[in-house]
Amino acid sequence: MSAAPSAAQRRAWRSPLLAIAWPGAIGLLSGLLLLLVALPIAGLLFSASPRQLLAGLGDPLVVPALRLTIFTTTVTLLVILTCGTPLGWIIARKTRRGIGAGPTARLWRVLETIVELPVVLPPAVAGVALLLAFGRRGLLGPALGAAGIGLPFTCAAVVVAQTFVAAPFYLQAAVAAFRRLDPDMILVARTLGASPPRLLFTVAIPVSWPSLAGGAAMSWARALGEFGATLMFAGNMSGRTQTLPLAIYTALESDLRTAQSLSILLVVVAFALLVAIRAGARR
Amino acid sequence: MRRTTSVTTSVLPAVFVAVWVALSGLGPAIAAKPPSGELVVFEAASLKEAFATLASRFEKDHPGAHVVANTAGSQELRAQIEHGAVGDVFASADQRHMSALATEGLVVGPALFACNEPVVVVRSALGASLKTFADLPRAERIVVGAPEVPIGAYTLQIFQKAGASYGAGFAAQLQAKIVSHELNVRQVLAKVVLGEADAGIVYRSDAMAAKGKVAVVAIPAELNVTAAYPIAMLKAAPRPELARAFVDLVRSPAGAAVLREAGFVPCPGR
Amino acid sequence: MSALEIALQGTAGALSIDVTFRAAAAPLVIVGPNGAGKTQTLMMILGASRPRRGHVILDGTPLFDDERGLDLPVEQRRIGFLPQRYALFPHLDVLSNVGYGIAAASRQERLRLAREVLRDLDAESLAERRPAELSGGETQRVALARALASRPRALLLDEPLAALDVSIRRDMRRFLAERLRAWSLPTVVVTHDRADAEALDGDVVVLKGGAVVQRGRLAELAARPATAFVRQLVSGPGL
């Protein structure tokens, strides 16, 4: 039996009004937010019969969109992991405490901000920006054209658009995770003769693995849902550039049930991905 | 140096918050009820400029009235209305979507007010090599509207007719060159203007709106379809008087003149 | 005769460091208050931070010499380091930790050599354990084994006993002093604790504000403290 509450503890609950009001307030506020999030998802999942949903899945839009989405987001994720991990590492190393506020550190801090910019960029803006960089008349347009590469309207353009919007999520997580590493541990590894690549692969990445996996999950989710930039930069062509979100939007204007089935499909895919990454992170 | 830092950290956030609050105060109200005297017009994308002119004339004729335009593909506007969006007038680029709404009892007394003619627009650099409709398969990238979009449906009809006239091979070639199905006609136009697409099918009025930035190729009369634009008042219009007045303006000779200047044509047999 | 010769001038944050000493057969002990620059000096010897002037010479080989523009990176200096909280690799087991710095033909060979080092430190039974499961004293021994296994030519220890429970400190102190003497590697030990300095029985360098205030054996310092500060330092229980 625990000891009787102290005078201070008794004072805190002296007002019975507070005893009711506080849990009530928490309940109301959190309940509102939970409802706001749960109701649309429930509407999505339960407002049509399973037969209608299955019928919606029979639309010819569905399978190409699903395959394209899985393919492009996987490629996007691989690109982001391969390029983002070393970049995150360099940024973390070049901007760490103790390295001072010299011009190099400042440059890397600026680069860090630039690479995290797409997070706050509206997708439509991202689409325009991508066109202005890689479109036929964009900055790199002539060079790409000379090399025989036309990006807009291709599957590659989908990957580019997804990478542009999703990379910052992973990068932020990677930089934060690498920054959190014990500097003594890094130093010891170096005294034991670890070269920079060995340091990254045998110490930094394994130790930071859970955070990196979380960043990868967020990044993948963002790529899955990418719509505006894809529509503008890659176009909307079933089988080539029409990802699930684009298919949903296109279907919405003709058949709500198809759109609903596609939406549930996307939710299932996203959920499966998240579970897979969480499981990988816990390893 | 230190003093500047503390000024920056204390004054700057305060200024930022003040500006933010001031700007948000100028925005529209968060609830659905718009102020009286505001007329909401759901208009097809191709009507943008013509209706902008008509809107200012309307505001001059009806002091205190303010026209708010909701411009999008007709299929999108129809979906919005079906899902309960609040508006006064709907002007569609085809009769299909308007009839659907009429059947559902969501619009009152639709009537045709203008017609439009699809044309091919070609990006300016290619203007010399793509001169006729028969040249169209030479384009590497063709952009059209999605089938649900009025211009997309018209395009499908045109391509079908082309297949009948020029042979299945021609139609197949065209199909193979399509790289995107845009969700309203202005997106099609934009891609051609930007130079990303070689050619696209839009309305003559759109080609006029982009005068100088694209080359225009007429579609042979035997292949072409006429786009008929109906306009109607929404059943649940919050300002039926104003809505009726606006529809009347659009259908009046003055309105027809504005539309004609924008590239629309009077409908045959009217 | 292997020796570590240090002459360093530089800045670490707001502190100006100016240190010279030589560590040879017996461990050199650096003592001083917090903020004296002890750890920063270790960082400069290791190559983790760059002094403005001076040299670091190990067994006659220069590792850092500003006059010649020489600055070997950390990975090539072959100086073992034991940080204050030991910093074992949490994702590897003890054996892999110890084997991390061993250059060997195969993984098997590396782990076999690692096991030998653990045996020398009476820690072989810990081989399969994970760092999170170890006690303070066990962690310290594993960290020592890891540093030694890479066959360094010098050893730096930063407050090696401070993270340990007071109750086991006496035994660990004796253990450490014995082993350091046996290995006869040039060793620098930073410490707060007078008992550590006594047990290690080597030259003592007193650091304050980044500069050497006095050096000599502990007995000399106690007998002839150069400043009131040194007297206070060597007379009290804690340094």
In chain B, what are the domain boundaries?
38-116+228-262, 118-217
Q: Assign domain B118-217 to its CATH superfamily.
A: Periplasmic binding protein-like II (3.40.190.10)
pLDDT top residue among A98 and C96: C96
* CATH at C13: 3.40.50.300
Which chain A residues touch B75 with a CB distance below 8 Å?
Answer: 253-254
C151 touches chain A (CB under 8 A): no
My answer on whether C99 and C197 are in the same domain is: no
What is residue B1's predicted lDDT score, i.e. its pLDDT? Answer: 47
My answer on whether C182 and C192 are in the same domain is: yes
SS3 call for B72: strand
Which chain C residues touch A182 with a CB distance below 8 Å?
Answer: 85, 87
Alpha-carbon gap: A247 to the closest alpha carbon of chain B (Å): 11
B226-256 b/e (C-beta count within 10 Å ≥ 16 → b): ebbbbbbbbeebbbeebbbbbbebbbeeebb
What is residue C11's predicted lDDT score, i.e. its pLDDT? Answer: 86
pLDDT at A98 over 70: no
CATH architecture for segment(s) B38-116+228-262: 3-Layer(aba) Sandwich (3.40)
Residue of B nearest to A230 (CA): B180
Nearest CB partner across the interface for C87, out of A98, A188, A206: A188
Average pLDDT over residues A129-155: 85
My answer on whether C169 and C141 are in the same domain is: no
Which chain A residues touch B175 with a CB distance below 8 Å?
Answer: none
Q: Which residue has the tokens 């090599």?
A: B129
My answer on whether C56 and C144 are in the same domain is: no
Question: What is the model's pTM?
Answer: 0.81
C11 touches chain A (CB under 8 A): no
Which chain C residues touch A192 with a CB distance below 8 Å?
Answer: 100-101, 146-147, 150
Residue of B nearest to A134 (CA): B196
Count of the separate structural domains present in chain C: 2
Instruction: Name the residue range of residue C157's domain.
Output: 4-78+153-235
**Are the C-beta atoms of residues B119 and B185 closer than 8 Å to each other?**
no
Asked if residue C131 belongs to a domain, the reply is: yes
Q: H or E segment at B73?
A: none
CA gap B175, B159 in Å, rounded: 9
Could you say which of C151, C177, C204 is where a domain stops? C151
Neighbouring CB atoms inside 10 A of A101's CB total 9
- Can you give the pLDDT of all 270 residues of chain B as single tens digits? 455 556 667 788 888 888 888 777 665 555 555 556 789 999 999 999 999 999 999 999 988 889 999 998 898 899 889 888 889 999 999 999 999 999 999 999 899 999 999 999 999 988 889 999 999 999 999 999 999 899 999 999 999 999 999 988 999 999 999 999 999 899 999 999 988 999 999 999 999 988 889 999 999 999 999 999 999 999 999 999 999 999 999 999 999 999 999 999 888 864
My answer on whether C126 and C169 are in the same domain is: no
My answer on whether C47 and C62 are in the same domain is: yes
CB pairs under 8 A between A and B: 53
Residue length, chain C? 239
My answer on whether C38 and C62 are in the same domain is: yes
pLDDT at A257 over 50: yes
My answer on whether C147 and C158 are in the same domain is: no
Residue of C nearest to A193 (CA): C75
Could you say which of C100, C133, C151 is where a domain stops? C151
Could you say which of C151, C182, C202 is where a domain stops? C151
What is residue B21's predicted lDDT score, i.e. its pLDDT? Answer: 80
Neighbouring CB atoms inside 10 A of C163's CB total 16
What is residue B270's predicted lDDT score, i.e. its pLDDT? Answer: 46
CB pairs under 8 A between A and C: 61
**Are the C-beta atoms of residues C64 and C47 closer than 8 Å to each other?**
yes
Alpha-carbon gap: B191 to the closest alpha carbon of chain A (Å): 9
| Cβ distance of A207 and C91 shorter than 8 Å | yes
What is residue C223's predicted lDDT score, i.e. its pLDDT? Answer: 86
My answer on whether C49 and C93 are in the same domain is: no
* Percent composition of chain B: helix, strand, coil (DSSP 3-state, to 5): 50, 25, 30
pLDDT in tens, A165-182: 999 999 999 999 999 999
Alpha-carbon gap: C126 to the closest alpha carbon of chain A (Å): 20
Q: What is the number of alpha carbons within 13 Å of residue A183 lying toward its C-beta?
A: 12
C14 touches chain A (CB under 8 A): no
| Cβ distance of C90 and A189 shorter than 8 Å | no
Which chain B residues touch A240 with a CB distance below 8 Å?
Answer: 179
Average pLDDT over residues A194-206: 95
Lowest mean pLDDT among A24-28, A169-173, C206-210: C206-210
Which segment, A33-47, A80-94, C183-197, C202-216, is predicted with the most confidence on average? A80-94
Asked if residue C83 belongs to a domain, the reply is: no
My answer on whether C13 and C74 are in the same domain is: yes
